[in-house]
Structure 1
């Protein structure tokens, strides 16, 4: 490459990396004319969102469970338009010594639904802190001075089983506290909230967790604590009533350890927003108050809503309290916050794979190896390498190297151009790669090598995480084409490199559609393919999309093999694009 080519490539690469950080969505736009917005402000699965304000900037994180990079960080200046700017957990996750080598260790098995539950993000004394509950290990913390940069190695602040949904509070008297809930599935009890004293540096609790509230009678399944102090009151804001049907509780006390009064500040009312709860109270520099929370849309995950809020007699009333009963209803649209104008953006979706790093929207199904993929910016493609299946492999839900991103809306079309390049020495050894929608069930366009040749299949699997059997619904033979001869053949004396054989370029597509609203919402996906990118043919019947373990369904790519080998198939992906 000459100097001019190098300069042009570097310029194009820098531009591509910039475009990844600010992307208009073709599938969802919460901005309305006349300075208004509509909900959800993020129509994608950012479960259990928490937000903090630093000056004129807002930073969000959310539950990432066992998806990595985890604890994605989003940024906004107007609370309506958000983009991903980084992640606090990258490619590793702490496993305490007593759990190493057990079924809770990601080195041993995939961890669907475990690890990172309901985080809290706070800014204190020049540092950003994120706390989260791991329901099997305890309460953890990481911090940074730059939310776009590297975060510290996680610290276990309090070890113990069943503790979740923690939030720090640094008091104005120099003391610090940590609130949390508990998971009935691990602790054997739920619907109770705790507060523990914490060291000023936030690295450890300094005393036992004390129960400060019992919600068994009036606030069943209360959890998701967010801890604040205002006007001399300590506030714990928590969801109750369950993920799909619950409401938002506001509690206050003059003492961090109680006793606490309670108040319901937001509920579904007569709207179609089921379970409007668990989120963050924030204010603006001009003194406005707002509340961000999730709504569980089943297969689509937990999407983010923005509600106006106001303080009445030191109680936070959220949403539109048009009937004056003190409990607000979720708004479908509203006037935007009085904040600095923002470009119209949503979390990244499309990817041309013209950067040397993965787009920030992508996550693997667990802590990952950088040996699994190559971002080939020079050729503008992503190459996924075939990874050996675990000994306990039953179906694709067992593969941590599946690369996925969230559904961006209820109704959308996603198309990708790709090519499957099997290892010529491995034709009979079960190499398989392709394009997948993955949740508790999955469906995929799979390219597979067998003793009879290479095939493109539409496969489906019900109850995949419980070991369900994958079924082939459609199977089409694929011709393999010899690739360009390696130019290094002219230099080789022995062991001359040979070209591989590959499928032609295949355009794969799925059209996702929703039906129903609130807790009656459902989702289907119709898979299609094309050999020229113009005429598409349907593959099989529509797939009934299901959510994953505490997360929404996702879409992306996979590549794996069944045998030990020092090389395997490639899945080369040119691009992925979303549209309505």
Structure 2
């Protein structure tokens, strides 16, 4: 193998020093929320897990998040203490569009997942159901609600089922929850913030409903989910009837990032849930200060009920550790990202970006690893196999065996407009920067098997390659990727690790290894 001139296998210097709290070490060094001393620190699910919808089912809690253009998608997570979360598996296996903020509910013993999607002809809402949370889940049913997103399911005092959507509007559901009854109609005039607040846009969205005592509570978001750090917020209204009239909470917004100096930006899109011992909590998302590349991460905040029947948030800016919810039992936290690729199926950490209907036919797993059929002509259009990361700094490596006229490699991938990476053919190393291949950097390398390593230290990325996985050669181009996020590219996504196979032929993937680094 030809070494790159002047390169050495060296660790990057740590990026300069914003003092940040340290997190407990979870699987493979990934940060985890539970600090082991009766306290926790946010995020409870690190990395891009936005629009959390949470369901309490006896002593168990289940949660899922927007999965956008990734399939398998709508991965269900489980917890028994609201702090330690581990994935069960995906509820969606076939592409139905770009999946946004869902609602996970249980009604009369059956689980339902209401799924908003964006397709070429606009947005709408599907529903899938299962009698066991672990599946199998039904094929999605189109509710034929054009222009609707962010569903929130509720059962009224009349025993009827309703779906609230962005707007804030409402439509009645059939008793089986799989079709609508009547027309969509306005349900609530959202609370409006002062005109001089620095926000992205009004955008009332994310209605989530629950009943406590004599009141229905409607929790929603306004202000825009990105844009300025002070945009997103959590608002509350209540009514004695599901049909209203609704009154605004006098404490609105109950959560809002007040300043870009806070550790969590654009906090909003909340679901309220009762804890194991009867205390109450909010789960919502936010961007980590300086790390929009990680996407919107899942946050947990305690609330308290006031004498007048409203609630207040008690977590402040979430800059400090907080007491864990009382009761409950700590279970597994996170998931291993490392993968030998010798199992019977892909783990829940993996999903294809923007796959076709039969994308899984590209995959073959056996004792020799994962054989991935090439697709497209370049990193931009090959539907890479991606996994989410939640660490500010991390290292990942993989062994590649190139077959035919394929190109295989590893990248950090936002979408076809935003990525960096390194790829190999049987004869060359290719470099991707500024979301395109830099042909002037093509380097002759004769090797059908190569080890590739990526090191990301607080958005400064270096690639390394090796013939044997022991002696590494550093790529001469260190790449800064802090701009690969929604405020630049749109799409509400995050920067994921992507393994890819493009061109003609196939790529054998072995021994993917991941570990978080202290940054």
TM class by shorter-chain length?
A: 0.7 to 0.9
Return the offset for 1:217. Answer: 4.4
Contact conserved, 1:432 with 1:448, CA < 8 A, in 2? Answer: yes
The CA deviation string for residues 503-551 of structure 1, in whole angstroms up to 9 with x for no partner, is 23x221111122xxxxxxxx23221222232332221322232136211
Q: Which residue of 2 aligns with 1:296?
A: 287
Residues 242 and 411 of structure 1, relative CA distance in 2, 3 Å threshold:
same
Partner of 2:350: 362
Q: Kindly tell me: are residues 227 and 259 of structure 1, through their superposed partners in 2, closer, same or farther at Cα, counting changes over 3 Å?
A: same
**Partner Cα distance (1:363, 1:84) in 2:** 14
Q: 2:418 aligns with which of 441, 446, 451?
A: 441
8 A contact 1:307–1:331 mirrored in 2: no
Question: Partners of 1:79 and 1:93 in 2: how far apart?
Answer: 30
Superimposed CA distance per residue, residues 376-406 of structure 1 (whole angstroms, 9 cap, x where no aligned partner): 1x23x2121223x2xxx6x533223x10001
Query: After the TM superposition, which of the residue ranges 526-535 and 119-128 deviates more from structure 2?
Result: 526-535
Q: How big is the shift at 1:223? A: 0.6
Q: 1:53 to 1:513 in 2, by over 3 A?
A: same
Deviation at 1:332, TM superposition (A): 3.1
The counterpart of 2:159, out of the listed 171, 174, 178, is 174
Cα distance in structure 1, aligned partners of 2:64 and 2:246: 27
Is the helix fraction higher in 1 or 2?
1
Q: What is aligned with 2:3?
A: none
Structure 2 partner of 1:432? 407
Q: Decide which of 229, 235, 240 is 2:211's aligned counterpart.
A: 229
Kept after mapping to 1: 8 A contact 2:50/2:297: yes
Return the offset for 1:296: 2.3
Structure 2 residue corresponding to 1:83, chosen from 61, 86, 92: 86
CA distance, structure 2, for counterparts of residue 47 and residue 553 of structure 1? 14
Tell me which residue corresponds to 2:95: 93
Bigger radius of gyration among the two: 1
C-alpha displacement at 1:344, in angstroms? 4.8
- Shift, 1:368, TM fit: 4.1
Match of 1:544 among 443, 458, 480: 480
Counterpart of 1:145 in structure 2 is 131
Query: In the alignment, does 2:272 pair up with 1:281?
Result: yes
Instruction: Provide Cα deviations, 1:128-175, integer angstroms capped at 9, x if missing partner.
Output: 111122242411111112222210111112331x21101111235311
Per the alignment, residue 460 of structure 2 pairs with 524
Structure 2 contact 123–149 (Cα < 8 Å) conserved: no
- Does the aligned pair in 1 maintain the 2:277–2:328 contact within 8 Å? no
Residue 458, structure 1, aligned to residue 458, structure 2: no
Change (3 A) 1:354 1:197: same
Distance 2:53 2:174 in 1: 22
Q: How does 1:184-203 map to 2 (within 5 A)?
A: 192-203=167-178
Structure 2: state its 5+ residue gaps.
Answer: 1-25, 195-201
Give the total of aligned pairs.
Answer: 459
Any idea what the Cα deviations from partners look like across 1:74-94, whole Å, max 9, x if unmatched? 11111111111111111x234
Which residue pairs with 2:188 in the alignment? Answer: 213
Q: CA–CA distance in 2 between the matches of 1:416 and 1:122?
A: 39
Q: Does 1:398 align with 2:340?
A: no
Of 109, 112, 127, 2:110 maps to: 127
Residues 285 and 40 of structure 1: CA distance in aligned 2, closer, same or farther (over 3 Å): closer
Matches of 1:45 and 1:287, distance apart in 2: 29
For residues 307 and 51 of structure 1, the distance between their equivalents in structure 2, rounded to whole angstroms, comes to 14
Question: How many angstroms apart in 1 are the aligned matches of 2:335 and 2:247?
Answer: 38
Residue 496 of structure 2: aligned partner = 554
What TM-score, normalized by structure 2, do the two folds share?
0.83
Q: Note the alpha carbon deviations across 1:80-135, whole angstroms, 9 max, x for none.
A: 11111111111x234xxxxxxxxxxxxxxxxxxx5211001111111111112224
- Give 2:312's aligned residue: 317
Asked if structure 1 preserves the Cα contact closer than 8 Å seen for 2:116 and 2:125, the reply is yes
Seen in structure 2, the aligned counterparts of structure 1 residues 574 and 25 have a Cα distance that, compared at 3 Å, is: closer
1:576 aligns with 2:513: yes
| SS of the residue 1:337 aligns to | coil
Match of 1:71 in 2: 74
The Cα of 1:329 is off from its aligned counterpart by 4.1
Q: In the superposition, relative to structure 1, how do residues 473 and 235 fare at CA in structure 2: closer, same or farther (>3 Å)?
A: farther
What is the RMSD of the two structures over their aligned residues, measured on CA atoms? 2.1
Q: CA deviation at 1:572?
A: 2.8
